[in-house]
Amino acid sequence: MKRLSLSILSLFLILVSFSVTAQTSAGTKKTVPTYLDESIDFEVRAQAIVKLMTLKEKVEQMREYAPAIPRLGIPTYFWWNETLHGVARSKDTVTVFPQAIAMAACFDRQAMKVMGDICATEARAIYNQSFLDGDRGAQYKGLTFWTPNINIFRDPRWGRGQETYGEDPYLTGQLGVAIVKGLEGDNPRYLKTSACAKHFAVHSGPESTRHTFDVDVSDADLWNTYLPAFRDLVVDGKVSSVMCAYNRFRGKPCCANQHLMVDVLRNMWGFKGYVTSDCGAVTDFWHTHKTYKDAEHSAVAAVNATTDLECGSFWSKNWTFNSLTKAVKDSLIDEKELDIAVGRLMLTRMRLGMFDKKENVPYSAIPYSILNAPEHAAHALKMAHESMVLLKNNGLLPLNKNLKNIAVVGPNADAEATLLGNYNGIPKQIVTVLDGITEKLGDSSKVIYAQGVNFVELLEGESLQDAVAKVQDADVVVFVGGINSKYEGEQGDTGNIPGFFEGDRTSIMLPKVQTDMMKALSAAGKKVIFVNMSGSAMGMPWEVENADAILQAWYGGQSAGTAIADILFGDYNPSGKLPVTFYKNDQDLPDFSDYKMENRTYRYFKGEPQYAFGYGLSYTTYKCSNLQIVKTHGMNVRVEVTVENTGKKSGDEVVELYISAADKDMNPAIRSLKGFQRVHLAVGEKKILSFDLNTMDWAAIADDGQAQKPRGTYSISIGGSQPNDAIFNGVTETYDFE
């Protein structure tokens, strides 16, 4: 029956490929090409338009820059667009949210979904205006976005870790699905924009070897760490696109890897969308990996692995996919394989409404004036508030607004660029920490500013004591340090500065000159609050022991300064939680190039962290109690817990649920996050929260990618941190399977 159905569909496609007859309002008949007939399914229309293309035209459509085909009414289109935390690189002023790693610290699915929706709204506004301006086909003004980056942040030295949602597969999958839903919308017919799960798969540095390295991890690590988030976005999130990675996996480049791309992505998970290569990845086959002898064989291998689109021609003057024309003529590949690839690309464009009348596509009416809307800016501030993680507070915070003198010091105190992270857009307005504190205090206090030091060295012609002298009248010093995207980022974004190399960090330690500056301030009798900005975990042993307070502020986006000032002075109760482990020093870390998960991340790290995954302080106290576990059906269990604000200030608590198996053959992880909820509680308020656990939550995924049937005893812990943390305010119970 399956073969018969496919044959009937193929015959139908041939019959309707050229045209259909439609009735006009005047009663006369008008011929409409099938691919423009809005009454026909997108899949049929996509196949119909492909059948009208020449071989050369098909090949040209399989590149990031797809030229127009005037005779078919197909406009030029640039597939490569970015919206990691706001529409990026378009040169339009847009809303810029906190960097991805900062948004992960919010532990807030709904806020992430709203953020994605705002990005899609502003993207549609830019896209619609580009048509009015006659700028069709311009790069970074399109609707296919290569976001989110859901690679696991397995090592804090990886410069692009800031683009991810942290080290945990569950958190990454949950937040990734949320942004996909926001970006793609809920219209039953049209995509608002197209999201992309990247980089598939087993990819997280080093940046300097990303075009050459080969990874061979165990099946246990593959299925339980590197693939779960991709599975979540493909199966649960219905993401419309996937980007394959630069590196090799078990000897084969990811974009030509039959196991990853065909066996897992297409067959096991049923992915129907389009796959794009990372930019330059197909050229890597023959240029750097040396796994194929030339461009022609490389292109064939990629298409045979269902890579539909090539991004980038960095190593040569031409796209490697250009050689597909010759490959077809040389009988290295059947043209029908190209039809399938181009069909998936055309289907995506049709789902975006590019071949339908504007009045029939609801998103076509979004005006350019919606950019930087007040409600968008408000959400950027909300996410900045939620993202900040209070790591230490000896009672100094929140500060009194009646301070006579306050000093704001450090390389990030007034650094606008730092707040934008990477893959960023251009905000209409940006608030630095100096701006935020100055605005907060007005004329009531004197705000003294001194940069003090650069990121990794003294200011030219100045000493530490010069900086201390400038702030000698301050009652409190807010030292705003850390790093920025000059020091961590994508390959080539950074120089070879000591402690950093080609985008990655060679040490997780805070640059020594900054610690020396804080030591000098402390020695002068100053109370020191350390505000750290970074996209990754920072080793800061002196600060942990000696600073009066530490706030992890990440790269907080356009409203970072306002959010930081609100927290420092108590107008917002800090509620962020760490999405990564903060290790004590470099000695805690395995070799950067080793992809084994042993002794990595909170799930497997056997040492004592500086600050644990899920950690974060508040200005109030919370308590979780009365944990109830009820089996619903099969292996499914509902867990309920009561959470109460037991302190003296209202605020948000992130309630975290962890599972640990007694039988480590069932799940070797020390513990694994399997649920979280952000909840607002007034003073004295209680709420009952419920969590649903299913078969995939209990046991490790087997080597064939299937869920194991759980057995034995499991511990379920619920609280505002991991159960072994000193600040754990929750409860732990056991649950037995037969």
Tell me what the mean pLDDT of segment 2-23 comes to.
40
- pLDDT given for residue 497 in this prediction: 85
Angle at 507 between CA 506 and CA 510, to 5 degrees: 140
- How would residue 31 be classed by pLDDT, with cut points 50, 70 and 90? confident
3-state secondary structure of 7: helix
In the set 60, 155, 278, 697, the catalytic residue is: 278
C-alpha dist (Å) from residue 108 to 95, 517, 660, 698: 19, 36, 23, 23
User: Tell me: the pLDDT tens digits for 254-289?
Assistant: 999 999 999 999 999 999 999 999 999 999 999 999
- pLDDT given for residue 27 in this prediction: 53
Q: Could you tell me where the beta strands, DSSP code E, fall in 120-258?
A: 197-200, 214-215, 241-244, 248-249, 252-253
- What is the CB-side half-sphere exposure of residue 306 using CA atoms within 13 A? 21
Residue carrying the six token digits 């292996």: 635
Q: Is 186 a catalytic residue?
A: no
Tell me what the mean pLDDT of segment 234-238 comes to.
98
User: Tell me: the pLDDT tens digits for 617-631?
Assistant: 999 999 999 999 998
Tell me what the mean pLDDT of segment 704-728 comes to.
94
Q: Which two tokens stand for residue 483?
A: 């790093």
User: Tell me: the pLDDT tens digits for 507-557?
Assistant: 999 999 999 999 999 999 999 999 999 999 999 999 999 999 999 999 999
User: Residue 4 pLDDT more than 80?
Assistant: no
Cβ-Cβ contacts under 8 Å for 234 (sequence gap 6 or more): 197, 242, 265, 269, 270, 271
Closest CA to 120 of 178, 162, 45: 178
Q: Is 184 a catalytic residue?
A: no
- How would residue 52 be classed by pLDDT, with cut points 50, 70 and 90? very high
Q: Is the peptide bond between 362 and the residue preceding it cis, with omega within 30 degrees of 0?
A: no
Cβ-Cβ contacts under 8 Å for 681 (sequence gap 6 or more): 622, 643, 644, 645, 650, 651, 652, 653, 687
- How would residue 176 be classed by pLDDT, with cut points 50, 70 and 90? very high
- pLDDT given for residue 438 in this prediction: 97
Distance CA 516, CA 519 (A): 5
Q: Is the peptide bond between 67 and the residue preceding it cis, with omega within 30 degrees of 0?
A: no
User: Residue 23 pLDDT more than 90?
Assistant: no
Type of residue at 549: A
- pLDDT given for residue 30 in this prediction: 64
Distance CA 477, CA 458 (A): 18
- pLDDT given for residue 494 in this prediction: 66
- Report the first-to-last Cα separation within the chain, whole angstroms: 41
Structural domains of the chain ordered from first start: 52-363 (3.20.20.300), 374-604 (3.40.50.1700), 622-737 (2.60.40.10)
Closest CA to 355 of 20, 46, 24: 46
Please indicate whether residue 312 or residue 639 has the higher confidence score (pLDDT).
Answer: 639
- pLDDT given for residue 492 in this prediction: 77
- How would residue 290 be classed by pLDDT, with cut points 50, 70 and 90? very high
**Cβ neighbourhood burial of 110 (10 Å; 0-12, 13-18, 19+):** exposed
- pLDDT given for residue 137 in this prediction: 80
The pTM of the full predicted model, rounded to 2 decimals, is 0.95
In the set 488, 504, 566, 656, the catalytic residue is: 488
User: Tell me: the pLDDT tens digits for 88-103?
Assistant: 999 999 999 999 999 9
- pLDDT given for residue 318 in this prediction: 81
- pLDDT given for residue 10 in this prediction: 41
Q: Cβ(535)–Cβ(421) under 8 Å?
A: yes
Distance CA 88, CA 619 (A): 35
User: Tell me: the pLDDT tens digits for 668-713?
Assistant: 999 999 999 999 999 999 999 999 999 999 999 999 999 999 999 9
Tell me what the mean pLDDT of segment 369-383 comes to.
98
- How would residue 57 be classed by pLDDT, with cut points 50, 70 and 90? very high
3-state secondary structure of 291: coil
Check the CA dihedral 150-152-158-164 and report its sign.
positive
